[in-house]
Amino acid sequence: MVGAVDKHLALIGFMGAGKSTLGRELAQLTDRPFVDTDDEIEKRFGPIGELFERGEPEFRRIEEQIVAEALAGPTAIIALGGGAVLSEVTQARLDRTAFIAWVPVDVDTAWSRVSDSGRPLAQDRERFGQLYDQRCEVYDVLAQGGGADVEALLLSAHGIVFSGRVPYDAALIADERVASLHELRLLTPAVSTHLVPSGEEAKTLAVVERLWSELEIGRDGWLVGFGGGSTTDLAGFVAATHLRGVRWVAVPTTLVGMVDAAIGGKTGINTVEGKNLAGAFHFPQQVFVDPSFLSTLPPEERRAGMAEVVKTGLLAGKELWALQEEEMIRACAAFKTAVVLSDPYEREGRRAILNLGHTFAHALEAASGYELRHGDAVALGLLAALRLSGRSTDVVEEVLAPAPVRVDRGRAWNALLRDKKGRLKLILLGDEGGYVTDVPERDVKRALDQLIAD
C-alpha cells in the first residue's frame, strides 16, 4: 500500500530530533495511538540509564522486543529510540509494517538538546558526533521519507511532493483544456498521451471504456492523471480497474485538486443516477503539486478552490485561507492527509468530517440541475453548517461572499433527504473541530431555506 495509509508511521532519527513531540502531535492529528518506544521501555523496565549499566546488548534486546510489540499492534504513530533501527530484525519488521520517516536534526542542535539529559550516549561531545555520523548513514538507507515538522511529515507519509515533474514513464491521461495550456512534454516521459474532455465531462463510463481499450500499459505500468479533480477522479478510477489495478500518480492543476480531490484515494465517475456513484478507493502512489499550474486557472475555479480551503481551515481551527498560496496548499493538503490517515476508507466515519457544509452543497447542486459550481455550493453549505453550529459566519462572508441561489426549494429539500437517506446526520463544527450529529429536521430545512433566494 501507499505511504502510511495501511501502515504505521514510524519516526526514526537521532536523539534530540524531536521525534516524541512530533509523534505526539501527529497522533493527535491522525487520531492514531502513539507509542514512544523509549517511554515504553522505561515504563516496563525502569530508567534507560540503569538498563544501560547492565550493558548495551541487554538494552537493545529489550528495545527490539518493545518495537516488535508496537509494530504488531494497531496502526499507530511510533517514535523509535535513536539506536533502535540498528537491529536488522527491527529493520525487516519496519520495512513490512511501517512507513519509515526520518526526522532530521543537526548535530549541534541535538547536542544542545540532550547533553544535560543524562542519556548514556550523550556524555561526551566527540563520541556523540561520531555516533551521529554513523547513525545518519543508517537512517539515510532506511528512510522512505521524512521531515522536520508535522506538516512535512504528513505530506511525506502520503506521497505528496511539491514538484511539477513526474520522474518515470507512464501513460498520461490529461484534461484537454489543461493540455492546451501547459507543456505536457515537461511533465513526464509519457509512453502515451490520452486527452479527455475538460472537467466533469470526463467522468463518464464512455470515457473509461475508451481508455481501457486505448491503454497499452501492463500490470507493472503507471498512469498519470493531469488536470482538476474531474481528471484525477477519472484517471484514478481507470487505474483502479485497468487490468484489476495499476499504480498511478496525480498531478492536480486546480486549487480544488491540490487541496482536496487529488488527495485521499477516492476515485470515481458519474452514472445516470448521480455524481460519483461508481468508484473505488485506489490511492495514488504520489501526488505532484506544482502551484504554477494555477497561473491559467479561471477566477471562478480559484474561488471554488477557496471554498474548500475555508472548509479545511475551519476544521483545522486555523486561518489557512490567509496564508500565501503555496503555504496554504501545503497546510490544507497536510490536514486532509491527517484525516485520511485516521480513517482511510471512511469506515469509522471520522473521514466524513471533510464533508462539512457538503450536505447542503449537494442539495443545492442537484436542485440547480448541476448548473451551480460545487465550490459555490460549498460556500453556501458552510454558512448553513456554521449557523447550525451556533458559530460566526464572518469568515465565509468575507473570504467567499456567497450569494443565495435561485433554485426550487422543494427540489433542494428532496435532494437533501435523498442524499441523507432519511437520517439527518450532519457535520457540525465545535471547538475541537468537526463532528457528526443528528439535527432536527425543521432546523435543517430552515438552514437550507436561508441559502435560497426568492
Ligand X SMILES: NC(=O)c1ccc[n+]([C@@H]2O[C@H](COP(=O)([O-])OP(=O)(O)OC[C@H]3O[C@@H](n4cnc5c(N)ncnc54)[C@H](O)[C@@H]3O)[C@@H](O)[C@H]2O)c1
Enumerate the active-site residues.
244, 266, 308, 336, 348, 351, 355, 358, 362, 374
Note whether 304 binds ligand X by CB under 6 A: yes
- By CB under 6 A, which span of 23-31, 40-48, 198-206, 314-322 interacts with ligand X? 198-206
Residue 163 sits at φ, ψ, to 5 deg, of -165, 150
Minimal distance, residue 138 CB to ligand X, in Å: 37
* Distance of alpha carbon 405 from alpha carbon 384, whole angstroms: 13
Cβ partners under 8 Å of residue 37, min gap 6: 63, 66, 67, 70, 78, 79, 80, 81, 84
Closer Cβ to ligand X, 20 or 276, answer by number = 276
Minimal distance, residue 244 CB to ligand X, in Å: 21
Minimal distance, residue 46 CB to ligand X, in Å: 48
Minimal distance, residue 252 CB to ligand X, in Å: 7
Minimal distance, residue 135 CB to ligand X, in Å: 39
* Distance of alpha carbon 91 from alpha carbon 339, whole angstroms: 28
Closer Cβ to ligand X, 77 or 208, answer by number = 208
| Interacting positions 137-196 with ligand X (CB under 6 A) | 175, 177-178, 181
Extract the C-alpha cell encoding 153: 511529515
CB atoms within 10 A of CB 357: 27
Strand 34-36: give its sheet, edge to edge.
34-36, 77-79, 8-12, 98-102, 145-146
- 83, 146, 159, 228: which one binds ligand X (CB under 6 A): 228
Identify which of 394, 401, 406 has the alpha carbon closest to the alpha carbon of residue 379: 401
Minimal distance, residue 105 CB to ligand X, in Å: 35
Identify which of 172, 163, 173 has the alpha carbon closest to the alpha carbon of residue 198: 173
Closer Cβ to ligand X, 332 or 396, answer by number = 332
Minimal distance, residue 202 CB to ligand X, in Å: 8
Extract the C-alpha cell encoding 43: 515504563
Closer Cβ to ligand X, 195 or 396, answer by number = 195
- By CB under 6 A, which span of 1-9, 23-31, 224-232, 312-320 interacts with ligand X? 224-232
Closer Cβ to ligand X, 13 or 257, answer by number = 257
Extract the C-alpha cell encoding 77: 504513530
- 28, 296, 437, 450: which one binds ligand X (CB under 6 A): 296
Identify which of 310, 326, 329 has the alpha carbon closest to the alpha carbon of residue 259: 329
Closer Cβ to ligand X, 27 or 329, answer by number = 329
- By CB under 6 A, which span of 100-108, 221-229, 360-368, 399-407 interacts with ligand X? 221-229
C-alpha separations of 412 from 61, 361, 422 in Å: 64, 10, 14
H or E element: which one contains 278?
strand 274-281
Residue 426 sits at φ, ψ, to 5 deg, of -125, 160
Extract the C-alpha cell encoding 329: 496548499
Minimal distance, residue 185 CB to ligand X, in Å: 16
* Distance of alpha carbon 388 from alpha carbon 441, whole angstroms: 12
Is the distance from CB of 12 to CB of 20 less than 8 angstroms?
no
Extract the C-alpha cell encoding 152: 512535512
Using CB under 6 A, count the residues that bind ligand X: 30
- 38, 151, 200, 365: which one binds ligand X (CB under 6 A): 200
Note whether 381 binds ligand X by CB under 6 A: no
* Distance of alpha carbon 41 from alpha carbon 341, whole angstroms: 27
Which DSSP string corresponds to 146-158? Answer: E-SSHHHHHHHHT
| Interacting positions 229-288 with ligand X (CB under 6 A) | 229-231, 233, 253-254, 256-257, 260-261, 264, 266, 275-276
Note whether 338 binds ligand X by CB under 6 A: no
Extract the C-alpha cell encoding 369: 440541475
Closer Cβ to ligand X, 64 or 175, answer by number = 175
- 290, 301, 365, 376: which one binds ligand X (CB under 6 A): 301
Closer Cβ to ligand X, 254 or 359, answer by number = 254
Give the residues lining the site for ligand X (CB under 6 A).
175, 177-178, 181, 198-200, 203, 227-231, 233, 253-254, 256-257, 260-261, 264, 266, 275-276, 293-294, 296-297, 301, 304
